[in-house]
Structure formats: structure tokens, C-alpha cells
Chains A and B, each alone.
Chain A
């Protein structure tokens, strides 16, 4: 809160220099993360190059490490597809929850729903994972996947028999549940930023509640897009819960009922073996670098969208 352009007083300078190192540590940790990921990834990128992204083979070669083949195609595919499913499922629910909390629920219920959403956000992810493994996956397999396969098996997405509940679809559903509270928080902030005069104007022209909501959602659109992007980033980075339900098989398939892999679950499962094989660690760090890139890209675009929304609504 110092006035720009004015030099600091001596005692104020002291405070500045006393606190500066702590901020510097935060920045240093961030730079270190990029540097370490980049440094450890370099050998794999140099050796395999673009082949890392074009093959799904995961074949460590003990006798001749130089002939090991590692591909990240299937895990990258799994990460992108499961996160996309999660966002597609969570987005309509997010919009509904925001409208209910902000407009249509009775006063007392708003606070209750808000608290429930906060519990959802804070619950340890491993608890979702255990629930997904023991409860959600068998439930979905029996009551959703099997009927879908029987009725709509001609659609490629549902064309394979759901042998177990551990597949891309379950990962997507579990991730949708997990990212919902984050998306609600971001979308709700955007919705609240709509100036009251717009709401009055919409009501004054006699809009029904449906028409009113349509106008308001139009105004909050950049914030809702930001919520979807941040939700996607979260879903892509989620590790242990997904590792428990995705099946952990490096497959690229158009069918959602096939087991799959994600980059983060690959890291979780293979890391402990990686020091034994040259290049494997490096490949896993390349996967980490890709995750970091996805997270940072989602974050950057979301921040720009939110800033744009703020500007537009004044």
C-alpha cells in the first residue's frame, strides 16, 4: 500500500528488506520446480524426442537399458479424456449450484449448500479415491455401464463390454465430483461480480426466471469458462484418486469402458521402480513437465478470462 513513485522511509525500508527474503524463497521454490523438472527431463527428451508422445509402449529393457522404449501417448490421452469427461459432467452441475445458491434457494439453504460445497472441497482426495475404488466403480459398472452397453452398444463410446468398473468413465465421474467445489467457487465469484443494475434491468423488462438466468449467465460467461479451465487443470493433476479407479493399463481406445492410464497415475505407479532403469525417471519427469504445462496454461487463460470479465462489467 505504499504510494507509487514515492521513496520509502528508512524504517519502512527496513520492513521491506526484512520481509523480502520470504517472498524470494517463494519465487525461488517456483523457479526450482521448473528447473528441476526441466533438468531431469532433458535426457529423455534428447533421447526419445517426439517419440515420447507418439507411442504407448512402456517396455523397460533390463539387459540393455539403451533399448528401453517409453511412450507417454496413452497416459496423455487418458489424462485429457478423463479431465474432459469430468469438466463436461461438472459444468452443468456447477451452473445449477451457483444459480440455486445465489438466486433461488431460501436464505437458510444457501448457507447449508455453501457449507456442503466447502466440505467437498476440503475432504482429503484419498478418501474420494477409496470410495471410488470400493463403492463408485462397482456401482457404476452394474447400474450404468452395463445397461448403457446393452442399449447403446452401437455407439463407439459404449461399444466395449464393461468388464470391471475401473476405466476412463469412472475416472471422469470421480474427477467430476472432486472438481465441482473448485468450479463452483470460481463461477460463484464471477456471478457475484455482476452489478446489481443488470439484475434490476433484467427483472424490470419482465424476464421469467429462466430468461433472467440466461441473461445473467451470459454476463458471467468468462468466469464460467475460467471455472471450467481451472477444473480441467485440477482434474489433470489429480493423482492418487485417479490411480485407484482408472485401471492403469496403457491403452488408447475410443471406448470409455476400457481401462486406461493417466500421466499422474503413471508417475504414482512407476516412480518407485524408476531409479532402477536409466531414462525411466527422466521420462516420468517429462510427464510431470507436461502436467505442469497443462496446469499453467489452464491457470493463465483463466486469469486472463477473469480479468477480462472484470473489465467488461466495470
Chain B
């Protein structure tokens, strides 16, 4: 008879390896389905499914691009500067409160940020707009970027700062010139993660951008003013088209998913490359 302790060990090892496989398998199934169904949809309807506004998802693609960039412009500078404050003045009361707040924001369901923006922007401005959606997305990405900035700045070894101080640099010069410089890859990682988050979010857009998908957001003369128009986004399009009975709409949803997943994977690889270079 084998030792029961050894049998227990074998059963245990098999169990945890099987459970790990069960845990990671679904994501491969998701990726494979998106790849297959997305390409099938494009093959069935031609490239027009991506490049047309009628029976195509062009308006969603354009809207998503505008939203991601605009949300980044609003959210990233705020996140970096607030993150610098928290890391640099970490023993002040306000910095401690800000840290707790940013960590709590991570746990706020994103749909609530959409409801907030609906009340403070959509209602007063009298309608949906890409700008309102971008503000909601900026709030979503804010805590992610902040946490990364804080960690990156705090992981800078103190001797670099001391070197800066010893040659008579002020605190601002050391923070911006030395610490932020050394931590720049960590900060860039946070920025990319925030961007990826903004690109893929759906719930904050439900009540903010208005799902205008038959026309492109360009009714106004100045390009910048168009952000005051309603628009669409790929995730929102997928959510609404997935609930329609017609095949065409489902195909558009899968084609949109394919674009979304590819865009996410590109950002993900960029993050990996950044992180790897830091290790060297």
C-alpha cells in the first residue's frame, strides 16, 4: 500500500493543475470565437461592414477613436499630476485621503460613473455628446493610471533623489527631472492600461453618448466642436446589436469585437514590451 500522505499529495497536485486549466481555458475560447466569428462576418459582408455607416460600423469605430483620445487627454494629465502629489507628499493628510479615494474609485461600478455624468453634464447641456462620454471614461481610467504613477514614483530608489538634492535642485526639479524620468516606463505602462480600459468600457457610455450611429460626428464646421455632438462607440454598438434578432446586427457585433480585441492585444503587447525593458 502506498503512503496515504503521498496519495493525498498526488490527488492534490492533479486537482490544482486541472482547476488552473479550467480557469484559463475560457479566455482561449473567447478569443477563438471572436477571431472566427469576426472574420466570418467580414467575409460574409465584405469590408464594407467596417467602412460604411449604413450596414457597417464606421460610426462606432470613429466614435471609439475620438472617445479614447479625448478621455485620455482629459484623464491622463489629471491622473499623473494627482498621482505625483500622492507619491511626493505621501505623509500629508490630503495625500492619504486622495490615495484611499483613488483606490475606492477602482471599486466603483463603472455604470455609476455614467449615471453621474448623465446628471452633471447630459441634463444641463441638453443632450448626449461624445464629450460627456469622454468625461465618464476619464473618470474610469483615472484610478488605474494614478495607482501606476504612485507605484512607479515610489519605486525610484531614494539615492537618485538625494543626488539631485545634493547638487542644489529644488523638490520640483527632482520630482519632474529625476524621479519622473526614472519612473517614466512605469508611468507609460499606467497610461496604456488606462487607455485600454477606456477603449473597452461600455457601461459609462450607456447614458452619455447617445448611440448616434447612422451619421458621423461632423455636423459642425470646427473639428473640435464635434465632440459636442452625440456619437457611438464600438462596445455600445456591440451591446445593443447583440440584443437584436437579425443576423446582420450580430455579424456587426462580432466584427466590432474583432476590431476591439485586436486593438486591445496591440496595447497589451506594448505594455509587455515596456515592462520587459524595465526589468533589464
Contacts and interface: CB of A to CB of B under 8 A. Distances in A.
Given A29-B139, A126-B235, A127-B34, A20 B94 contact: yes
Interface in A171-197: 177, 180
Contact of B85 (A19, A119, A135): A19
Contacts, number: 262
Nearest to A128: B30
Contacts of B8: 208, 210
Contacts of A271: 115, 118, 206-207
The 5 closest A-B pairs by CB, nearest first: A237-B109, A124-B200, A96-B19, A19-B85, A96-B16
A271 B239 CA distance: 15
B202 A126 contact: yes
Given A96-B15, A96-B19, A123-B200, A130 B257 contact: yes
A30 B104 contact: yes
Given A96-B19, A99-B16, A244-B242, A30 B105 contact: yes
29 contacts: A1-B90, A2-B89, A11-B172, A15-B171, A16-B85, A19-B84, A20-B94, A23-B94, A24-B94, A30-B105, A32-B120, A92-B19, A100-B17, A115-B272, A123-B30, A124-B235, A126-B200, A129-B242, A130-B253, A134-B250, A135-B33, A208-B9, A239-B109, A239-B203, A240-B202, A295-B107, A296-B104, A299-B104, A299-B107
Interface of B: 5-6, 8-9, 11-13, 15-17, 19-20, 22-24, 26-27, 29-30, 33-34, 37, 78, 81-82, 84-92, 94-95, 97-98, 101-113, 115-116, 118-120, 139, 142, 146, 158, 161, 170-172, 175, 193, 196-197, 199-203, 206-207, 235, 238-239, 242-243, 250, 253-254, 257, 260-261, 264-265, 268, 272
Contacts of A129: 202, 238-239, 242
A26 B111 contact: no
Interface string A229-251: 01001101111100110000000
Nearest to B241: A130
For the residues of A in contact with B, the DSSP-based class is helix
A30 B94 CA distance: 14
A266 to B, nearest CB: 10
A240 B264 contact: no
B18 to A, nearest CB: 8
B258 to A, nearest CB: 10
Interface stretch (A70-78, A141-149, A152-160, A285-293): A285-293
A68 B278 CA distance: 59
Interface string A1-19: 1111000010110111011
A298 B254 contact: no
Given A36-B119, A117-B24, A240-B206, 20 more contacts: A3-B91, A19-B81, A30-B101, A32-B116, A90-B23, A96-B23, A97-B19, A97-B23, A97-B24, A122-B193, A130-B257, A134-B33, A177-B26, A213-B12, A268-B203, A271-B118, A271-B207, A296-B104, A296-B107, A299-B103
Contacts of B98: 23, 26-27
A122 B261 CA distance: 10
Contact of A292 (B90, B112, B158): B112
A15 to B, nearest CB: 4
Given A15-B171, A237-B111, A239-B111, A126 B27 contact: no
A131 B261 CA distance: 12
For the side of the interface on A, what is the size category? Answer: 35 or more
A36 B94 contact: no
A116 B89 CA distance: 36
A114 to B, nearest CB: 11
Contact of B260 (A100, A124, A236, A268): A124
Nearest to A297: B107
Given A130-B238, A131-B34, A209-B13, A16 B89 contact: yes
